[in-house]
A and B are shown apart, each in its own frame.
Chain A
Amino acid sequence: MSRPDDRREQPIRAAEQFEELFRSHYATVVSYARRRVPAESVDDVVAETFVVAWRRLERVPAESLPWLLAVARNVIMAQRRGARRRHALRLRLQSTAVEAVERSSAEELGPVAAALARLSEKDREALTLIAWEGLRPSQAAAVLGESPSTFRVRLHRAKRRLRRSLGEHREQDEMLAHCLRAKESHLMTQGEHPS
């Protein structure tokens, strides 16, 4: 049977539980945010994520990292929605690193990042949660709020779409390179130097 002192120790135990949660996953949450939001927003995302965890400590499951990353993802999405509503013109500046990929040329970002950006947000998350955050598929499924079987299908399709996107990108690159070579060859025969 618990004692009154035990009851009063609960806040202390909760603080210790939260501190352990924080120290275990702070680095991962920071990295997750850094990969997805601009540097100036990282602190806000991390702080809000852990404030939510503190307030809902009793709801944090034993496997807490997917839960935390799901919260961080929601915070980021809410941040994006708010930014869209309030500052449509500034959205480009406030967008996340991955979103920024969508608006930048493949030459600037690299073909893989550009191909990633062409995927849906959930497909992109399915791939990057595993590749970048190192989660197991079951953990990544929890982040996205999907069942493991649904996630398996999503992951399979996301990989296929990424491959297709990379292939199309490669074909476009090769076609562009072919055109440039042809133009260069034509100019050389005309006695001009390509600019």
Chain B
Amino acid sequence: MTKPTPSTDEQLFELLHEADPLAGNPPLAGESHAVGIEGERLLQHILSSEHVISRPIRQRARQRRRLVLSVTFGGGVAAATAAALVFTAGNAPSVAFAGWSASPTAPASGQLVAAEAACLARLPSSSDTERARADGTAHAPVMESLLKIAPSEWQVALSDTRGSFTMLILEAAKGQAQATCLSGTSPSSTALSVGPVGGQPSSPPEGQATAVSTGSQGVVNGNAFTYIEGRVGAAVTGITLVLAGGTRVSATVANGLFLAWWPGSQQAISEEVATSTGTSTHPLGLSNTLRIR
């Protein structure tokens, strides 16, 4: 029998509740408080993906031939005060990471100088800052603070060469500002991430390593790469990363820092820290990446 037309809001919403397509249906796995297997899979998939700061299409088209502020660390982006930025070149042809190897290789003559020059050329310029400000991105204040650092202040703290590509950790302002940069055979095949000014870095205890960035990702000319970097105690002699697919990647360890990178977006699942007294293995994950010993 047809119900009378509801005269009150309560009656109307009672009817609406009854018409809920999910009323009486048992919840799917994802609808319980736990997100379920599908939800966990989606979560991990998204977290392992590259983190892209999207820009309005209109502005993107206008700046197609200019430096594109497009990619940041794969682990996530940051709040307004401490964003890390990656600049990649525009429509340059795609290049592979020619000659990449799981262990660092000796740089060719002039390779480090060229990489440093290419990376310094990628530092934020006043036009980048103006663009960020015009776009209203959260990075504008960070870029403004970085602009105050003269290019000559940036120094190479660590380099890691694998084939024709070199990754550099650059420091400035007495270690308070850092940049990580991957550079290939041409200035256009260079990607740089740069962070805001901070305090003096702290070193981990002797024999331990502290990863300050794990599973970070970037793109050079459309080719994704992943890298891990951190600080090591004085007794650490070597670090080996084990990737999800089983590949073992040896990091460069020097000057209290370590750094390794590899093509693609595979995550490192564990790392082996070598000291003169032995080797210890530690799992790596998004939730425990900051203190891996």
Number of A-B contacts (CB under 8 A): 191
In the complex, A167 Cα to B4 Cα: how many Å? 8
Taking a contact as CB atoms under 8 Å apart, the answer to whether B47 and A4 are in contact is no
Residue on B with the closest CB to A32? B22
Are A27's CB and B32's CB within 8 A? yes
Chain B residue with the shortest CB-CB distance to A111: B2
9 closest Cβ pairs, A-B complex: A14-B76, A11-B75, A10-B78, A8-B212, A7-B195, A131-B16, A112-B19, A3-B199, A3-B198
Asked if B22 contacts A132 (CB within 8 A), the reply is yes
The residues of A that contact B287 with a CB separation of less than 8 Å are: 16
With both beta carbons as reference points, the residue of chain A lying nearest to B286 in the complex is identified as A15
Interface string of A8-27 (1 = CB under 8 A from B): 11111111111100110011
Q: How many of A's residues come within 8 Å of B, CB to CB?
A: 56
Say yes or no: A6 contacts B289, CB within 8 Å: no
Chain B residues close to A by CB (< 8 Å): 2-6, 9, 12-13, 15-22, 27-28, 30-33, 35, 38-39, 42-43, 46-47, 49, 51-54, 72-84, 138, 175-178, 195-202, 210, 212-213, 216, 229, 231, 286-287, 289-290
Residues on B with C-beta less than 8 A from A128 are 16
Q: Mostly helix, strand, loop or mixed at chain A's interface? A: helix
CA distance A188 to B16 in the complex (A): 40
Distance, CA A26 to CA B44, complexed state (A): 13
Nearest to A28 among chain B residues (CB) is: B31
Shortest B10–chain A CB gap in Å is 11
Q: Which residue of B lies closest to A6 (CB)?
A: B198
Q: Which of A146-175 contact B (CB under 8 A)?
A: 159, 162-163, 166-167, 170, 173-174
Q: How far is the CB of A16 from chain B (nearest CB, A)?
A: 8
Query: Which residues from chain A contact B210 at a C-beta distance below 8 Å?
Result: 5
Asked whether, in the complex, the Cβ of A7 is within 8 Å of the Cβ of B84, the reply is yes
A17 CA to B77 CA, complexed, in Å: 10
Question: How far is B15's CA from A112's CA once the two chains are assembled, in angstroms?
Answer: 7
Known interface pairs A97-B21, A116-B19; A170-B2 also in contact (CB < 8 Å): yes
Q: Is A187 an interface residue (CB 8 A)?
A: no
Residue in B13, B178, B202 whose beta carbon sits within 8 Å of that of A7 in the complex: B178
Which of A15, A47, A128 has the largest count of B CB atoms less than 10 A from its CB?
Answer: A15
> B residues within 8 A CB of A195?
none
Complex: chain B residue closest to A168, CB-CB = B5
- Given A12-B75, A19-B43, A130-B13, are A2 and B81 neighbors across the interface (CB < 8 Å)? yes
Q: Which of B4, B16, B178 contacts A127 (CB 8 A)?
A: B16
